[in-house]
Structure 1
Amino acid sequence: MNLELRHLRVVCAIAETGSVTKAASTLGLAQPALTAQLQRIERALGGPLFERDRRGARPTALGELVLDRARVLLPAMKGLQDEAARLAGAGDPLSRYRFGGVNSPILGRLVHRLAAERPDVGITTYASWSVDELAQLVAGGRLDFALTGVCGDASPSAEFGLTWREVAVDPVSVLLPQHHPLADRDEVRLVDLRREQWVAAPGEGCFGDCFAAACARAGFTPRKVYETDVRGCVDLVDAGEGVALCQATFRPPAGLVTRRLAGAPLRWRLLLGWHPDAPAVGVAETVLETAVAAYTDTLANHPDYLAWLLRHPDFGAAGGDRRGANRLSAGITAA
């Protein structure tokens, strides 16, 4: 049997998990099948790679040698594949736009605008709760752009070498049942929600820490947080089991309302990312402008928020003159 990269991944998975059973689960294989594969690998290499007992699997001297080589070869091969994927299309105009998003509020309008402007270009989308996963896919040439959000002045990890540009920045709002005692206010102080239970969608980044810090500044620790998908969050709020943080342009279903948090203690920055060595770099500025326009489109359904933006020029669409962009959208809405 010739040794292949997939065999090295098996060896690394067993070493990292410390167990053939756990490695099988990680790799999505049946335990007997992985055991048989390990035996074939060991025969090809001439000796046992792991000592296995009730405590798990520990590398032998031969196993350590193989692991040392595998930990060099696997990342090198991954890097080669990623660079080849980018180089393969580097000289060609982008014939498709591949977007990844984390609960993006503008993806639909962005796709609509791009499809109208470039009907000859195919558009695909991919959803993930993990910013790092999207960044890795963009870095590997499997996506062209990532749309994600971060809190405050934070930025996504620089590990994957992406260029990130701001599309918009919004104050965070709270989602309440229509019958909630605070629902009749235009703005709600965070401290007035200190006795509430919270619901949140999963995701990465600093937002959980930012929320906890904002609550601490307001003088309290948030109570229990339910984590579920967006629909589950809406259902829990509708059932009166909690309140939820939400984006300023979120359109609540019947029976629920959104209210801004007084003083904007939390900010959400919408970002567009791409790799500087990928073919997408040639159209990145155009896509960014389209993303900003798509964000402006969303404001038409939120006249109250639009009016608030005109009084708070540090928020809203990105660009050198936020106030100008927001006023332009206000004029379009009025027309």
Structure 2
Amino acid sequence: MLPLVELEVRHLRALCAIADTGSVRKAALRLGMTQPSLTTQLRRIEATLGGTLFTRGQNGSRPTPLGHSVLSRARPIIAEMTALVSAAREAALGAGGLRLRIGSIGSHAVTGWLRRIHRRLPETDTTIHIEVSSNTLLQLLATNQLDVAFVHETAGFPLAVPEGVERRVLIGREPRFVALAAGHPATARSLVPLSALASDAWIVDPTADDEATALRAAFTAAGVDPRLVHVRDNTTAAELVASGEAVRLSQPIADPAPGTVVRPLDGDPLTCQLALASRSGSLPLRDLDALFTDLMDAYVDVAAANPVYRSWLDRNGSPLLPSVGSH
């Protein structure tokens, strides 16, 4: 049993995450943990406190009376700790100069974005935090751990946007392509229908917001039941695709890994909205405008340099990036 003195703020955050999401699985995704590790942590906390904090059922996890009592005390502690950290950081900022904390999904546009920011703000201490989950980035924004974040939202699966966080749309509808082994029969097609990939295993990242759910929904609409393989490591995923063991979704601006080919999906059954998120009033409008322009310019550059995406943009009349199609 954990001694009571070993109960830490991270444990209280875990309890609040379970209560807020209503699910140990969803809370684990928000916290960047595996479900088994969070379940183990919850059992240890309950053992420390001497009672059950949540009831588990078909409708998810709900606080018990003891759970409500603990949560009512935990939330003010977390709020105070967040305020303390924020105040300390602001004090450090005042003593040490300008600071910009950026969050982002993984994207080929990030390097160019940072390069432009460094060139425009050479005296600013700029940091970057990369996450698979856009929901996690939004939570980091809401708790003042980030200043801006580049996020995406899968069509049909809205993000949980915290109060006080706003988004400025960068790309309203970006298609998802598919990465295949170079020897896959479907690479002969310029547009690959989902039905041509019905017998393939599909790699999904279990920490990515609604990726598996969106893929299942697209296949269901096509009358196909996909086989999903959960892989969190990008290197392993790329090797599995190159070996022909599986296929996976790809951002259109991504370069194919060695031994793989990227192709558009026929009918664009999976799309995302890309946006720059920030806390309301946290940055002057001119600074936010400049960060947005930097990100858009970086995105346009990588899109224009990608022949598969360029072809898709030209074929579709460049609805996303008219400037690319006009070159």
TM range (shorter): 0.7 to 0.9
Counterparts of 1:291 and 1:73 in 2: how far apart (Å)? 37
**What is the 5 A alignment of 1:45-56?**
50=50
1:74 aligns with 2:77: yes
Q: Quickly say closer, same or farther: Cα 1:166–1:229, change in 2 above 3 A.
A: farther
1:254 aligns with: 258
1:26 aligns with: 41
Deviation of 1:326 (Å) = 2.8
1:219 aligns with 2:214: no
Residues 172, 247 of structure 1: 8 Å contact kept: yes
Deviation of 1:252 (Å) = 0.9
**What is the 5 A alignment of 1:1-12?**
none
1:269 aligns with 2:273: yes
1:123 aligns with 2:123: no
1:306 aligns with: 310
Q: Which amino acid aligns with 1:219?
A: G
Residues 215, 222 of structure 1: 8 Å contact kept: yes
1:148 aligns with: 151
Residues 206, 212 of structure 2: 8 Å contact kept: no
Q: Quickly say closer, same or farther: Cα 1:209–1:9, change in 2 above 3 A.
A: closer
Q: Which amino acid aligns with 1:308?
A: W
Residues 181, 244 of structure 2: 8 Å contact kept: yes
2:189 aligns with: 185
Counterparts of 1:141 and 1:218 in 2: how far apart (Å)? 42
Residues 205, 211 of structure 2: 8 Å contact kept: no
Counterparts of 1:190 and 1:64 in 2: how far apart (Å)? 46
Q: Quickly say closer, same or farther: Cα 1:167–1:86, change in 2 above 3 A.
A: farther
Deviation of 1:196 (Å) = 0.6
Counterparts of 2:134 and 2:217 in 1: how far apart (Å)? 22
Q: Which runs of 5+ in 2 are unaligned?
A: 20-36, 53-64
Counterparts of 1:283 and 1:204 in 2: how far apart (Å)? 29
Counterparts of 1:282 and 1:5 in 2: how far apart (Å)? 46
1:170 aligns with: 174
Offset from partner CA, 1:227-266 (integer Å, 9 cap, x none): 2322111010111111111111110123210000011111
TM-score normalized by structure 1?
0.72
Question: Which region of structure 1 is more displaced relative to structure 2, 169-178 or 306-315?
Answer: 306-315
Counterparts of 1:23 and 1:255 in 2: how far apart (Å)? 37
TM-score normalized by structure 2?
0.74
Counterparts of 1:128 and 1:268 in 2: how far apart (Å)? 16
Count of residue pairs the alignment pairs up: 293
Counterparts of 2:175 and 2:203 in 1: how far apart (Å)? 18
Offset from partner CA, 1:196-253 (integer Å, 9 cap, x none): 1111234332332221111111111102323232211101011111111111111012
Deviation of 1:172 (Å) = 1.0
- Select the structure of larger CA radius of gyration: 1
Deviation of 1:301 (Å) = 2.0
**What is the 5 A alignment of 1:60-99?**
67=70, 69-71=72-74, 73-77=76-80, 80-81=83-84, 95-99=98-102
Q: Quickly say closer, same or farther: Cα 1:66–1:306, change in 2 above 3 A.
A: closer
2:204 aligns with: 200
Q: Which amino acid aligns with 1:151?
A: T
Deviation of 1:161 (Å) = 2.8
2:22 aligns with: none
Q: Quickly say closer, same or farther: Cα 1:23–1:121, change in 2 above 3 A.
A: closer
Q: Quickly say closer, same or farther: Cα 1:174–1:75, change in 2 above 3 A.
A: same
Counterparts of 1:51 and 1:195 in 2: how far apart (Å)? 48
Question: What is the aligned-residue RMSD (CA, Å)?
Answer: 4.0
Percentage identity across paired residues of the two chains: 25
Q: Which amino acid aligns with 1:240?
A: G
Residues 150, 277 of structure 2: 8 Å contact kept: yes
Q: Which amino acid aligns with 2:98?
A: S
Residues 103, 129 of structure 1: 8 Å contact kept: yes
Counterparts of 1:24 and 1:199 in 2: how far apart (Å)? 25
Runs of 4+ with deviation above 4 angstroms: 3-17, 22-25, 63-66, 78-92
Counterparts of 2:90 and 2:183 in 1: how far apart (Å)? 57
Q: 1:137 aligns with which of 129, 137, 140?
A: 140
Q: Which runs of 5+ in 1 are unaligned?
A: 39-48, 53-60, 318-322
